[in-house]
Amino acid sequence: MENFKFGDYLNLNNQIMKKAFLNVFLLATIGIAAVSCKNDKKNETEAKEPEKVAEASEMAATYKVDTEQSVINWKGAKLTGGGHEGVISFKGGELSMNDNMLEHGELVIDMTSIQVEDLEGEKKQNLEAHLKGTVEGKEGDFFNVKKYNTATFEITGINKKDGMYMLNGNLTLKEKTNNISIPVQVEKNNEALRLSSEAFMIDRTKWDVNYGSKSVFDDLVGNNVINDEIELQVKVYASKV
C-alpha cells in the first residue's frame, strides 16, 4: 500500500476548507437574495375589507381631474423573468382639499384605455386585446372591459407614516372592492393640485384577475406563470373648480 504523505494531507485539508467556504458563501448569497426580494415588496399593499368613504367638509375646495395629463403606469412580470409595462388613463373624478389636507375624492379609471408600451405592431395589439378581454373566448382572463369598462378609487382616509402620506381608499375592479393604502405626495397651489404615488404593488387575484396565477391554478409551470403582483404608479393632475 502506498504511504499517505503529510503533503497529501495538507492538499486534502485545503480542498475540504475550500468546499466549506463555498458552501458558506452560497448560503450567504441565498440569504441576501431572500432579503432583497422582501425589500422589493416593501410597498406591496394589503387588500382589506372596504371602508366608509370620506366626505368633504363645507370649507373644502374641489379639484376636477385633468384626464389628459393624469395617468397610471403599470408593470407585470412572469415568474421566470421578463414582463410588460404600459399605461391606463382616467375617465374622470374629483378631489377635495381643505387647506393642505386631502379630505375626499373619487378617481374613475378608464379600463378600455389599457396600453402596452414595450411592444409594437401585432404583438402590441394582441397583448392589449388579451388584457382588455376583447378576444373571443378569453374575455375573463384579465379585465373584461366590455363588461367592466371602468374601475374606481374612493378615498376613505389619509394618514402619515414614515414621512410619507398613506392614502387609504376603496379600489373597485371587476365589481370587487378592497381597501388599500398608497404612499403619496400631494402638491397644490390656488388653481391646481398634483397627486403622485410611489410605485406600489397590488395582488391582482384579490380582484379576480386570475389568469396565469400559480396561487389560483397550482398545475401551472414555468413560462405559463404570471406574478400575482402588479406594480402601479399613479399621477393625477386636477384643476380647481
Specify the pLDDT at position 41.
55
pLDDT of residue 100: 85
Question: What does the domain layout of the chain look like in residue ranges?
Answer: 1-40, 61-240
Nearest partner of 178 among 200, 153, 201, judged by Cα: 153
- pLDDT attached to residue 134: 97
Q: Phi and psi of 148, rounded to 5°?
A: -125, 80
Q: How far is the CA of 180 from the CAs of 26, 41, 153, 202, in angstroms?
A: 38, 15, 9, 8
Cell 404583438 sits on residue: 123
Instruction: Give per-10-residue mean pLDDT for the chain (241 aa).
Output: 47 50 41 39 84 96 97 96 96 94 96 98 98 97 98 95 87 98 92 96 98 96 94 98 95
Class of the CATH domain delimited by 61-240: mainly beta
Nearest to 72 by CA among 128, 151, 133, 141: 151
The three cell numbers of residue 204 are: 391582482
